């Protein structure tokens, strides 16, 4: 019977494989058939519709086709920041674009610095004379940060504005691990390196609380300054400090309270909003009663590609968790990024290098692999400028150290100069089950790390020594790069996380600006005219066939008709996102490299989980429940 069951499983596996191959062939053929048809023409005039369903990111993650074929995408749409910036810039100069529409009904957010960069692009379009209209059923921090840059902010009468600010709870696993008999062997350097605290404490340490509070205060101050500058007549501070009183004064109607506070300009449903835009951009015509002439963002971006003339300045993208080896877009594989840069250097096209970083760090060896490749560029005499996005912390800062100049955003999260390692052992778990372990050794390190009996003092000393050695190397790299005394670096290191506004004051970054500013600075350092250069992005492209499968199997992506339940649904789904983020972070720490330069406290759990977050959370749950 065992043989029969095994044969049956083999036959079922072969059948499933053949079905999958058949589906791939079918959808590939369908895609080719659709591709033969001429692309729809871009409207000659109308409103550019910036439908930000999903999240705004530095680099979109690659689609997992098997997940989609299984009928469960498990991921939100992602809009690339630079595509949005480029589209807004070209729209500002186009006579055909009569207005810009921000559809924020299903916007799931992004990092604060990323949203701020999009806001700067909106300001430039508005300064060029383009009216900007924002619409949503409700606004939270991220959505309102963008909407504040609009000419008119519309709000559904059934919605509201909820501004909470950074902060919130973190999940601590120490009590659960004690109940399960799991021991976390922790090795770290840095009083503020709190990534391992959930495995050794039931609450945050005083040092972690101090650092986290300072970071939250700095980010909130930057947010208030950004939004206040964009919306100077709004009673922003009063609304944030006394939301209940202001809503009560409006008889409990949140939308009216937002009007009274000057946070929004008009109340109306989508039909009323569309009619308002149609008055500026023109009516859609046909069977549409109240539609407007719309120019979709993706088609506009495709029709206005990146600049192809001028002296190329390389822009190396490092986005996502830093891992060893190869990785698809959305993750920073050390080998992948190193090979991409070395291949480009071999072509001898670029005259300077900008490293665009949006990463909380990860593997120390992966970070060093990338840093080593950047040093190759410096060895060729190229100036190197680092452009920090929303995150450039821990391992993200490690790879910043070769830079001649570091440019960030006031809301960039950086620093976290510290190192840690963590190994779970299960001697307590075995004892609870009545199990024990024993064995023999030929050297003090035989069988180490011993997860059954616990690690030996010799192994612990070796690991802690390695952690301290890497920390000395880390702080030494920072001291050399930033031209700071090592004693001063150790004062501002210790794993502490800094906002960009504070990092500039303590010398971790040189100034504020965008990627374009970094490219211009790199050109000046290379003695080139910034007006005569162009960015040449060095990154692994998204797989065309995987994106084809996603387009075919995810028809709701970017349909421009976001549901009004998105705002209230996002509030209800907030706990799910927080839990997924906490579990994903735990899985990365427990199953990641033995030694890590990672800043888990930097990663926001407020935005929509990315595919790797969902996979990591599922992996940890599967491990914990088996």
- Over residues 531-588, the pLDDT tens digits come to 999 999 999 876 665 555 555 555 444 343 444 445 555 555 555 556 666 666 666 6
Find the catalytic residue in 394, 416, 429, 501.
Answer: 394
- Cβ neighbourhood burial of 67 (10 Å; 0-12, 13-18, 19+): middle
Strand extents, DSSP E, 232-307: 266-267, 294-296
Distances (CA, A) of 412 to 120, 209, 318, 497: 15, 19, 15, 10
The phi, psi pair for 388, rounded to 5°, reads -90, 130
Nearest alpha carbon to residue 330 among 543, 602, 127 = 543
- Residue 44's pLDDT is 85
**pTM, full prediction:** 0.86
H or E stretch at 193: none
Residue 150, token pair as written in the block: 């609009």
- Residue 37's pLDDT is 45
- Residue 557's pLDDT is 44
The phi, psi pair for 380, rounded to 5°, reads -85, 5
- Which distant-in-sequence residues (6+ apart) come within 8 Å of 441 by Cβ? 447
**Is 202 annotated as catalytic?**
no
Find the catalytic residue in 193, 293, 351, 540.
Answer: 193
Nearest alpha carbon to residue 328 among 576, 572, 60 = 60
Nearest alpha carbon to residue 125 among 101, 153, 154, 155 = 101
Question: Would you say the C-alpha torsion 52, 54, 55, 60 has a positive or negative sign?
Answer: negative
Which parts of the chain have pLDDT scores under 50? 34, 36-38, 71-74, 555-565, 605-607
H or E stretch at 521: helix 515-525
Could you write out the three-class secondary structure of 308-328? CCCEEEEEEEEECCEECCCCC
Q: What is the pLDDT of residues 300-341, one digit of tens each?
A: 999 999 988 999 999 999 999 999 999 999 899 999 999 999
Across 497-534, b (16+ Cβ under 10 Å) vs e yields bbbbbbbbebebbbebbbbbbbbbbbbbbbebebeebe
**Is 124 annotated as catalytic?**
no
Pairing mode, if any, of strands 413-415 and 497-499? antiparallel
Nearest alpha carbon to residue 397 among 455, 458, 341, 355 = 355
């Amino acid at each position: 019977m065992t043989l029969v069951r095994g044969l049956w499983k083999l036959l079922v596996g072969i059948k499933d494989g053949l079905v999958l191959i058949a589906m791939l062939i079918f959808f590939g053929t369908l895609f080719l058939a659709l591709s033969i048809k001429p692309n729809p023409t871009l409207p000659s005039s109308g409103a550019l519709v910036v439908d930000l369903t999903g999240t705004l990111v530095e680099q979109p993650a690659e689609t997992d086709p098997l997940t989609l074929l299984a009928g469960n995408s498990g991921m939100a749409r992602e809009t690339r920041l630079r595509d949005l910036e480029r589209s807004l810039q070209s729209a500002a100069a186009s006579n055909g674009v009569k207005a810009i529409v921000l559809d924020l009904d299903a916007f799931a957010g992004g990092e604060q610095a990323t949203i701020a960069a999009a806001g700067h692009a909106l300001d430039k379009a508005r300064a060029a004379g383009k009216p900007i209209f924002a619409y949503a059923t409700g606004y939270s921090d991220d959505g309102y940060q963008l909407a504040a840059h609009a000419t008119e902010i519309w709000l559904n009468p059934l919605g509201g504005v909820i501004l909470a600010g950074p902060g919130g709870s973190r999940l601590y696993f120490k009590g659960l691990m004690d109940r399960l008999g799991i021991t976390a062997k922790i090795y770290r350097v840095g009083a503020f390196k709190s990534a391992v605290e959930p495995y050794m404490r039931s609450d945050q340490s005083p040092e972690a609380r101090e650092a986290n509070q300072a970071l939250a205060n700095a980010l909130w101050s930057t947010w208030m300054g950004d939004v206040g500058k964009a919306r100077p007549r709004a009673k922003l501070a009063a609304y944030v400090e006394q939301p209940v009183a202001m809503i009560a004064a409006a008889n409990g109607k949140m939308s009216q309270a937002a009007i009274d506070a000057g946070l929004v300009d008009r109340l109306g449903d989508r039909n009323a909003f569309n009619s308002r835009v149609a008055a500026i951009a023109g009516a859609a015509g046909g069977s549409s009663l109240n539609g407007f002439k719309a120019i979709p963002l993706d088609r506009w971006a495709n029709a206005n590609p990146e600049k192809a003339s001028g002296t190329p300045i390389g822009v190396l993208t490092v986005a996502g968790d830093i891992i060893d080896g190869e990785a698809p877009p959305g993750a920073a594989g050390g080998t992948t990024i190193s090979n991409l840069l070395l291949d480009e250097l071999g072509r001898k096209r670029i005259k300077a290098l900008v490293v665009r970083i949006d990463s909380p760090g990860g593997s120390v060896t992966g970070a060093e692999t990338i840093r080593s490749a950047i040093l190759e560029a410096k060895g060729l005499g190229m100036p190197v400028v680092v452009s920090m996005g929303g995150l450039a912390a821990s391992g993200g800062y490690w790879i910043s150290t070769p830079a001649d100049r570091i440019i960030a955003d006031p809301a960039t999260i950086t620093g976290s100069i510290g190192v840690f390692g963590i190994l779970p052992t299960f001697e307590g778990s075995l004892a609870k089950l009545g199990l024990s372990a024993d064995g023999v050794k030929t050297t003090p390190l035989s069988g180490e790390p011993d997860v059954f009996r616990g690690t030996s003092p010799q192994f612990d000393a070796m690991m802690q020594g390695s952690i301290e050695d890497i920390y000395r190397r880390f702080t030494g790299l920072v001291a050399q790069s930033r031209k700071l005394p090592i004693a001063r670096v150790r004062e501002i290191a210790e794993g502490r996380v800094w906002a960009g506004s504070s990092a500039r004051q303590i010398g971790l970054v040189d100034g504020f600006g965008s990627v374009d500013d970094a490219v211009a600075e790199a050109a000046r350092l290379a003695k080139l005219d910034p007006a005569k250069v162009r960015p040449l992005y060095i990154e692994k492209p998204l797989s065309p066939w995987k994106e084809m499968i996603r387009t075919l199997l995810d028809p709701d992506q970017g349909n421009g008709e976001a549901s009004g339940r998105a705002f209230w649904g996002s509030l209800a789904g907030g706990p799910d996102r927080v839990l997924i983020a906490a579990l994903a972070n735990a899985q990365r720490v427990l199953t990641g490299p033995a030694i890590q330069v990672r800043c888990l406290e930097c990663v926001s759990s407020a935005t929509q989980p990315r595919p790797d977050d969902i996979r990591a959370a599922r992996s940890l749950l599967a491990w914990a429940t088996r």
